[in-house]
Structure 1
Amino acid sequence: MKFVAVTSCPTGIAHTYMAAEALEQAARDAGHEIQVETQGAGGLQALDQSVIDAADAVIFAADVEVRGRDRFAGKPTVTAPVKRAINGAAAIVEEAVQAARSGVVTAAAPAGSSRGLTTKVDHDAGVGTRVRQWLMTGVSYMIPFVAAGGILIAFGFMIARFAGGDNGAIEVTKIPIADLIKHFDATSGMQWAALLFQVGVAAFGFLVPALAGFIAFGIADRPGIAPGFVGGALAGVVGAGFLGGIVAGFLGGFVALWVSRWRVPKAVASIMPVVLIPLVATLITGGLMIVVLGRPLSWVTEKLTAGLNNMSGGSLILLGVVLGLMMAFDMGGPVNKVAYTFATTGLTAAAIASHGTQLTVMAAVMAAGMTPPLGLALATVVRKELFTEPEQENGKAAWLLGASFITEGAIPFAAADPLRVIPSIMVGSGITGGLVAAFGSELAAPHGGIWVTPLISGIPGYLFAILVGTGVTAALVVLAKSVRRTEVAEDEVSVSGAHAATNMATV
Structure 2
Amino acid sequence: MADRKFGKDIVKHFQSGVSYIIPLVTAAGLLTSLAVIFGGQEVWDQTDTFWGVVRLIGQSGLQFIVPMISAYIAYSVADRPGLAPGFITGIVANEMGTGFLGGMITGLAVGYFVQLLKKVKVPMNLASLKSIIFIPFVATAVVGILMWYVVGPPITALTNLLTSWLNGMQGTNAVILSALLGAMMAVDMGGPINKIAYAFGTAAFTSGSYVASTAMLIGIGLPNFGMWLATVLNKKLYTEAERDNGKSALIMGIIGITEGTIPFAVADPTRVIPSIVVGTAVGAGLNGFFGGTHQTMMSTFMAIPFVDNMITYVISILIGGLVTALMVNFLKSRKKEKIEA
Q: TM-score, normalised by structure 2?
A: 0.59
What residue in structure 2 maps to residue 145 of structure 1? Answer: 24
What is the CA distance between 1:360 and its match in structure 2?
Answer: 2.8
Range 305-314 or range 228-237, more displaced? 305-314
What is the CA distance between 1:274 and its match in structure 2?
Answer: 1.8
What residue in structure 1 maps to residue 178 of structure 2? Answer: 316
Checking the alignment, whether the CA contact within 8 Å between 2:284 and 2:316 is kept in structure 1 is yes
The whole-number CA distance in structure 2 between the counterparts of 1:473 and 1:215 is 27
Checking the alignment, whether the CA contact within 8 Å between 1:368 and 1:433 is kept in structure 2 is no
Query: Residue 136 and residue 276 in structure 1: after superposition, are their counterparts in 2 closer, same or farther (change >3 A)?
Result: same
Name which structure has the greater RCO, CA cutoff 8 Å, separation 6+.
2
Q: Secondary structure at the match of 1:456?
A: coil
What residue in structure 1 maps to residue 304 of structure 2? Answer: 458
The whole-number CA distance in structure 1 between the counterparts of 2:113 and 2:324 is 46
Structure number with greater Rg is 1
The whole-number CA distance in structure 2 between the counterparts of 1:257 and 1:427 is 34
Q: Residue 173 of structure 1: which of 20, 36, 44 is its match?
A: 44
What is the CA distance between 1:258 and its match in structure 2?
Answer: 1.5
What residue in structure 1 maps to residue 118 of structure 2? Answer: 260
Query: Residue 240 and residue 344 in structure 1: after superposition, are their counterparts in 2 closer, same or farther (change >3 A)?
Result: closer
Q: Which amino acid aligns with 2:302?
A: I
Query: Residue 431 and residue 348 in structure 1: after superposition, are their counterparts in 2 closer, same or farther (change >3 A)?
Result: closer
Q: Residue 231 of structure 1: which of 77, 80, 89 is its match?
A: 89
Query: Residue 470 and residue 148 in structure 1: after superposition, are their counterparts in 2 closer, same or farther (change >3 A)?
Result: closer
Q: Residue 219 of structure 1: which of 77, 84, 90 is its match?
A: 77
The whole-number CA distance in structure 2 between the counterparts of 1:142 and 1:308 is 33
The whole-number CA distance in structure 1 between the counterparts of 2:160 and 2:225 is 27
Checking the alignment, whether the CA contact within 8 Å between 2:70 and 2:87 is kept in structure 1 is yes
Query: Residue 243 and residue 274 in structure 1: after superposition, are their counterparts in 2 closer, same or farther (change >3 A)?
Result: same
Range 133-142 or range 355-364, more displaced? 355-364
Checking the alignment, whether the CA contact within 8 Å between 1:207 and 1:345 is kept in structure 2 is no
The structure that is strand-richer by fraction is 1
Correspondence 1:134 to 2:13: yes
- The percentage of aligned residue pairs carrying the same residue is 28
Query: Residue 242 and residue 300 in structure 1: after superposition, are their counterparts in 2 closer, same or farther (change >3 A)?
Result: farther
The structure that is helix-richer by fraction is 2
Q: Residue 159 of structure 1: which of 15, 32, 38 is its match?
A: 38
What is the CA distance between 1:227 and its match in structure 2?
Answer: 1.4
The C-alpha deviation readout for 1:359-415, integer Å capped at 9, x for no partner, is 5323211222244455579xxxxxxxxxxxxx9xx9xx9xx98983799xxxxxxxx
Q: Which amino acid aligns with 1:250?
A: L
Correspondence 1:434 to 2:305: no
Query: Residue 146 and residue 259 in structure 1: after superposition, are their counterparts in 2 closer, same or farther (change >3 A)?
Result: same
Checking the alignment, whether the CA contact within 8 Å between 2:226 and 2:325 is kept in structure 1 is no
Query: Residue 152 and residue 319 in structure 1: after superposition, are their counterparts in 2 closer, same or farther (change >3 A)?
Result: same
Q: Which amino acid aligns with 1:241?
A: G
Checking the alignment, whether the CA contact within 8 Å between 1:142 and 1:211 is kept in structure 2 is yes
The whole-number CA distance in structure 2 between the counterparts of 1:440 and 1:469 is 17
Checking the alignment, whether the CA contact within 8 Å between 2:183 and 2:219 is kept in structure 1 is no
Q: CA RMSD in A?
A: 4.8
What residue in structure 1 maps to residue 329 of structure 2? Answer: none
Q: TM-score, normalised by structure 1?
A: 0.42
The whole-number CA distance in structure 2 between the counterparts of 1:278 and 1:401 is 35
How many equivalent residue pairs?
268
The whole-number CA distance in structure 1 between the counterparts of 2:121 and 2:276 is 56
What residue in structure 1 maps to residue 59 of structure 2? Answer: 201
What residue in structure 2 maps to residue 342 of structure 1? Answer: 188
Q: Secondary structure at the match of 2:104?
A: helix
**Structural mapping, 1:76-91, within 5 Å:** none
Q: Secondary structure at the match of 2:188?
A: helix
Q: Which amino acid aligns with 1:316?
A: S
Q: Which amino acid aligns with 1:254?
A: Y
The whole-number CA distance in structure 1 between the counterparts of 2:152 and 2:321 is 43
The whole-number CA distance in structure 2 between the counterparts of 1:240 and 1:402 is 23
Query: Residue 198 and residue 318 in structure 1: after superposition, are their counterparts in 2 closer, same or farther (change >3 A)?
Result: same
The whole-number CA distance in structure 1 between the counterparts of 2:120 and 2:246 is 51
What residue in structure 2 maps to residue 404 of structure 1? Answer: 247
Q: Secondary structure at the match of 1:151?
A: helix
What is the CA distance between 1:174 and its match in structure 2?
Answer: 3.2
Checking the alignment, whether the CA contact within 8 Å between 1:214 and 1:225 is kept in structure 2 is yes
What is the CA distance between 1:266 and its match in structure 2?
Answer: 1.7
What is the CA distance between 1:348 and its match in structure 2?
Answer: 9.0
The whole-number CA distance in structure 1 between the counterparts of 2:195 and 2:24 is 12
Q: For structure 2, list consecutive stretches of 5 or more residues without a partner in the other structure.
A: 206-212, 251-273, 327-341
